[in-house]
Structure formats: C-alpha cells, structure tokens
C-alpha cells in the first residue's frame, strides 16, 4: 500500500491514529513522538498464564517483543507445575478470561465465510470493520438507534457456546453491539491502548480471535505494569471487573502477523438495563433491536 504524501491517504485515520497509508502524511509527521510512541521502559513486564489465570514476571520481554517470543513464554508457564512457579513473581487480574479452542477449524471457516458476506468499511488505525450497533456520540452522550437493525444470526451459536464454556460467567449475554474488525500487517493495523466507553457499554467485553495468532497487551499506569496475553487463533477473550475498569488494553501493529478478524461484542451498561435511568429512553429499544437476527444471506 502506498505511503506517498502526494495524494490523500486512503484510510479513515485521524488524530493520533495512523496506518501504512498515512504514516508519511504531514498530519502524522507533525505528531510529537509522545503522541505516537509511549515509553514503557520503567514498566515491569508480565505474561498471562491461562493455566492458572496468573500473570508471571517476564523481565526479558518488552513492548517490542514479537508474538513468537511472547508465545514461547506463555507456553513455558503453562507447562510448569505449580511448585515450579512458586518463586516467580506473579499476580492476578480479576476478570481476565480466555476460552481456548472456542471454535473448531470447520466452525471458524464457516463463521468467516458468513462474515465475508457483508462488505467491509474503512476504520482507523489500518483496520476495516463491520458494525452492527447504534450510532453513539460518546462526547455528548447521545444515541441514534435507527442504524441498529440487529446482529447477524451467527451470534446465537457464539452466545450459546459462551455460556457453555465459561461455566456461566458469560451466560445471559445481551449484545448491544457486534463489531467485526479486520487487521492486516501490510496496513500496520493496530488498536491503541484504551478503555472501552463506560457510559453505554457494560461490564463484559468479548473478543473472538479469528484467522491468526496475536497478542493483547494490558497496561496499568498506576502499577507501572504491562501484561501480554497471547491469543491463539480461535481463542475467545473476555475482560470484565478489574480487567475492564482498571487496565487499558490494545494491540500493537507488530503483533499482527497475518490477516486477523476480531469479532467483538459489548453488552449494555446498567443504566440501559431494565430499571436503569436510561432504559426507557434508549435501553428498551436497543435491547429489542439487539434480539433481532439478520440472516447472513441477506447481508
């Protein structure tokens, strides 16, 4: 993809966000290094071990480490006995859940084919998206419900599987939004460290990792800690409670090693649920729309 500045970049980036198409544009060149690159040299680094749900000290890793290096650390921790890990510094992030092999290869192939029936739209940071959800003005806290006509029918299989494999932790999930995000190495696709909006979106965030392995990075500025979560293909990651509200999360562009589709879902915040102060104004209609299913063949 061209990075020439003589033509307008064919992307949707703005502000501090950039991709391969606009990285050499005047807008990005004028950004200070502080805007673009965060310095984590004074942070301690850890790797999440899904076997015991703990984050283990990994001082040899940094935010520049590759997916392969992080994968090796993750697999090493999983192979160790509890006694062998006793002397390694560790801690827990409450609300960080990984469901491995969430889909079979055949189920992934069918799901991706269904996803591909819908056209992709340009998004920021080198991504493309399919957005099934309301149009939200986060700054002014306003919502236009009309765009939200429902979620694809393949959501039902995923919701059922979430409830079954999570021992009920992800049961009774009411999607307020389903968004598919496509990442490509050639576009320098990424998502900056952030916290999802807390006004409209609720506690449990869902991300299903399709087509290639990757790494989700968690950052806590108060603790000065970075945690790498190796995400294998067909893994489902959910964050809630402490992981949702006390940590930022994101994916660096060098952790995109192949075409990746992230199927994400968000549920309503309490204010939009039954009995909440925004239920009658927005919640009731959005919940009704979230229970409509769109046949894949009609997308």
Q: What is the biggest distance separating any 2 CA atoms in the chain, rounded to whole angstroms?
A: 60
Three-state SS for the chain is CCCCCCCCCCCCCCCCCCCCCCCCCHHHHCCCHHHHCCCCCCCEEEEEECCCCEEEECCCCCCCCCHHHHHHHHHHHHHCCCHHHCCCCEECCCCEEEECCCCCHHHHHHHHHHHHCCCCEECCCCCEEEEECCEEECCCCEEECCCCCCEECCHHHHHHHHHHHCCCCCCCCCCCEEEEEEECHHHCCCEEEECCCCCCECCCEEEEEECCCEEEEEEECCCCEEEEEEECCCCEEEECHHHHHCCEEEECHHHCCCCEEEEEEECECHHHCCCCCCHHHHHHHHHHHHCCEECHHHC
Which pLDDT score, from 0 to 100, does residue 34 have?
46
Q: Phi/psi of residue 84, each to 5°?
A: -70, -20
On whether residue 58 sits in a domain, the answer given is: no
**Does residue 32 sit within a domain?**
no
Cα separation, 91 vs 86, in Å, equals 12
263: number of Cβ within 10 Å: 22
Give the residue-averaged pLDDT of 97-121. 96
pTM for this prediction: 0.90
pLDDT digits (tens, 9 = 90+) for 57-89: 999 999 999 999 999 999 999 999 999 999 999
* 84 is a domain residue: no
d(CA 12, CA 129): 11
Distance, in Å, from the CA atom of 11 to the CA atom of 28, rounded to the nearest integer, reads 13
Please return the burial class of 13, using the count of CB atoms within 10 Å of its CB with bins 0-12, 13-18 and 19+: buried
Residue 282 reports pLDDT greater than 70: yes
pLDDT tens-digit profile of 32-65? 554 555 679 999 999 999 999 999 999 999 999 9
Query: Which residues lie closer than 8 Å to 226 by C-beta, 6 or more apart?
Result: 40, 43, 44, 45, 46, 63, 217, 218, 219
Within a domain: residue 3? no
Is residue 222 a part of any domain in this protein? yes
Phi, psi dihedrals of residue 293, rounded to the nearest 5°: -110, 135
Q: Is 131 within 8 Å of 25 (Cβ atoms)?
A: no
Domain that holds residue 267: 97-298
| Average pLDDT of the chain, as a whole number | 91
In a domain, 256, yes or no: yes
Here the CATH number for the domain that contains residue 111 is 2.60.120.590
pLDDT of residue 20: 63
Q: How many domains does the chain have?
A: 1
Percent of residues, the chain, with pLDDT higher than 90: 84
More reliable by pLDDT, 13 or 252: 252
What are 184-226's pLDDT values in tens digits?
999 999 999 999 999 999 999 999 999 999 999 999 999 999 9
Kindly report which listed range (17-31, 141-155, 166-180, 226-240) carries the lowest average pLDDT score. 17-31
The neighbouring-strand residues paired with 143 are 136
Looking at the domain assignment, is residue 57 inside a domain? no
Tell me whether residue 174 is in a domain.
yes
Say how far apart CA 141 and CA 138 lie, in whole Å.
5
């Amino acid at each position: 993809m061209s990075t020439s500045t003589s033509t307008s970049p064919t992307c949707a980036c703005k502000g501090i966000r950039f991709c391969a198409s606009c990285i050499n544009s005047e807008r990005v060149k004028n950004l200070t290094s502080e805007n673009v690159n965060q310095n984590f040299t004074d942070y301690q680094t850890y790797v999440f071990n899904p076997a015991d749900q703990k984050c283990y000290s990994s001082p040899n890793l940094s935010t520049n480490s590759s997916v392969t290096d992080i994968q090796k650390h993750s697999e090493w921790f999983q192979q160790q006995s509890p006694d062998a890990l006793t002397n390694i510094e560790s801690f827990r992030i409450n609300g960080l859940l990984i469901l491995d092999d969430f889909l079979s290869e055949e189920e992934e192939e069918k799901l991706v084919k269904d996803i591909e029936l819908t056209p992709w739209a340009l998004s920021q940071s080198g991504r493309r998206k399919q957005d099934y959800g309301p149009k939200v003005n986060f700054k002014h806290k306003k919502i236009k419900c009309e765009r939200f006509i429902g979620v694809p029918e393949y959501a039902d299989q995923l919701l059922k599987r979430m409830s079954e494999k999570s021992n009920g932790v992800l049961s009774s999930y009411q999607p307020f939004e389903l968004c598919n995000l496509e990442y490509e190495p050639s576009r320098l696709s990424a998502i900056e460290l952030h916290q999802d909006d807390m006004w409209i979106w609720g506690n449990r965030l869902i991300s299903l990792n399709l087509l290639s392995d990757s790494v989700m990075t968690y950052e806590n500025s108060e603790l000065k800690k970075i945690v790498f979560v190796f995400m294998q293909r067909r893994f489902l990651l959910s964050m809630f409670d402490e992981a949702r509200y006390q940590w930022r999360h994101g994916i660096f562009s060098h952790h995109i090693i192949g075409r990746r589709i992230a199927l994400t879902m968000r549920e309503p915040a309490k204010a939009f649920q039954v009995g909440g102060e925004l239920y009658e104004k927005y919640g009731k209609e959005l919940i009704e729309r979230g229970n409509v299913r769109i046949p894949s063949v009609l997308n």
